[in-house]
Structure 1
Amino acid sequence: MAKHQSGSFSDSARAALRLLEGGGGGLVSPQEAESRMKLTQSQRKEIQLTLSDLGYDIGAADGNFGQKTRRAISRYQKALGLTETGYVNSIVANRLELVGVTRTDSAVSADEARLFDPEDLKGLETDERTIRAAQCLRGKEIIYGEFGGRLYVAVYDRHSSWQTAKSAAQRCEAHLASISSKAENDFIYGLFETDDRMFETGFDGSVSYKMGPWIGLEQDPGAREPRGGWRWLTGEPMNYNNWLPNHPNEHKQGDDFAMFYAHLDGNRDTADLKASTWDDMGPQNSSHGYIIEFR
Structure 2
Amino acid sequence: MKPGPFVHHAPRTVEEAVAVLAEVGHDGKVLAGGQSLIPVLNMRLASPGHLVDINGVDGLNAVDVTDAWVRVGALVRHAALERHGGAGAALPLIRQGLRNVAHPAIRNRGTTVGSIAHADPAGEMPSVAVLTGGVVEAVGPGGRREIAAADFFEGPLETTLAHDELVEAVRFGRFAPGTRTAFLESARRHGDYALAGVAVAVEVTDGVVRTARASFVSVTPVPTVLDLTPALGGREADSPTAPADAEAVVELVRAHVDPEGDIHASADYRRMLAAELTRRALAATTTEAQEGAA
Q: Do Structure 1 and Structure 2 share a fold, with TM-score over 0.5?
A: no
Task: Flag the structure with more relative contact order, 1 or 2, with Cα contacts below 8 A and sequence separation at least 6.
Answer: 1
Identify, as 1 or 2, the structure richer in strand.
Answer: 2
Larger radius of gyration: 1
Identify, as 1 or 2, the structure richer in helix.
Answer: 2
TM-score by length of 2: 0.24
